[in-house]
């Protein structure tokens, strides 16, 4: 957490801090994160309720996921542009809502209310980890290399699963491992908000936390779904 004689009790709540710029950064990051999640809920909800949009997302999912990946790479190129980073943040959030909707639709048809359960668990995990970082003031930058290696391993396993379908137990292990990876990234990225980012970095920080939250949600959704299959 940001030093000085004061500190953060929770994101957006500054107690006795001397640096107003850090306070503004925290408020901007979490405000943008909430706004981006709201955009995803709107686009995802519209897609969820519209059969043609669901089919469009399903039939073009591979290319749309590549587009989403392209937006993430583009965010690194425009990181010095506040307006460019803002545009990519909300474009990515809108696209993610469109892409996640058919996944959620499929799970909810098999297991009613599983999406809501996954969302509540994700909210609980995110809130708990965020409070932990802000309360302890720990710097989790040392996790960067380990998390990157774990993410590459997770991507490799997901790629192999396309050609060699995983058993139920292996799927549960993979989903659990993925949930741990993105929980770790929440610690890492929250720590960066406190220790490293400046006010102009708010859209980039919000995008990174957004990616963590959405992927944690998807891993928990898979974990819940896999555990209920016979």
Residue 9: predicted pLDDT: 46
Query: Which one, of 212, 65, 80, 105, lies nearest residue 151 by Cα?
Result: 212
Neighbours of 3 (CB within 10 A): 13
What does the pLDDT profile of the chain (230 residues) look like in tens digits?
A: 334 434 444 444 444 444 677 888 999 999 999 999 999 999 999 999 999 999 999 999 888 989 999 999 999 888 889 999 999 999 999 999 999 999 999 999 999 999 999 999 999 999 999 999 999 989 999 999 999 999 999 999 888 887 888 888 888 999 999 999 999 999 999 999 999 998 889 999 999 999 999 999 999 999 999 888 75
Residue 61: predicted pLDDT: 84
Residue 15: predicted pLDDT: 47
Length of the chain: 230
Residue 228: predicted pLDDT: 83
Bridge partners (DSSP) of residue 13 are 10
Let me know: does 225 contact 123? Beta carbons within 8 Å. Answer: no
What 3-state class would DSSP assign to 165?
coil
Task: Name the pTM for this structure.
Answer: 0.88
In angstroms, the CA 117 to CA 79 distance is 35
């Amino acid at each position: 957490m940001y030093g000085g004689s004061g500190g953060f009790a929770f994101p957006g709540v500054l107690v006795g801090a001397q640096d107003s710029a850090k306070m503004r950064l925290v408020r901007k990051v979490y405000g943008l994160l909430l706004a981006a999640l709201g955009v995803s809920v709107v686009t995802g909800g519209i897609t969820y309720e519209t059969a043609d949009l669901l089919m469009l997302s399903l039939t073009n999912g591979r290319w749309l996921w590549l587009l989403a990946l392209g937006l993430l790479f583009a965010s690194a190129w425009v990181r010095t542009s506040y307006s460019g980073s803002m545009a990519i943040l909300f474009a990515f959030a809108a696209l993610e809502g469109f892409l996640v909707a058919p996944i959620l639709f499929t799970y909810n048809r098999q297991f009613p209310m599983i999406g809501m359960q996954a969302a509540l668990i994700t909210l609980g995990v995110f809130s708990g980890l965020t409070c932990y970082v802000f309360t302890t003031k720990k710097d989790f930058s040392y996790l960067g290399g380990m998390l990157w290696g774990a993410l590459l391993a997770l991507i490799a396993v997901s790629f192999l699963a396309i050609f060699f379908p995983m058993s139920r137990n292996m799927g549960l292990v993979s989903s659990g491992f993925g949930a741990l990876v993105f929980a770790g990234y929440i610690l890492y990225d929250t720590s960066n908000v406190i220790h490293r980012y400046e006010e102009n970095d708010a859209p980039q920080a919000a995008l990174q936390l957004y990616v963590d939250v959405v992927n944690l949600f998807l891993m928990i959704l898979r974990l819940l779904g896999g555990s209920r299959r016979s």
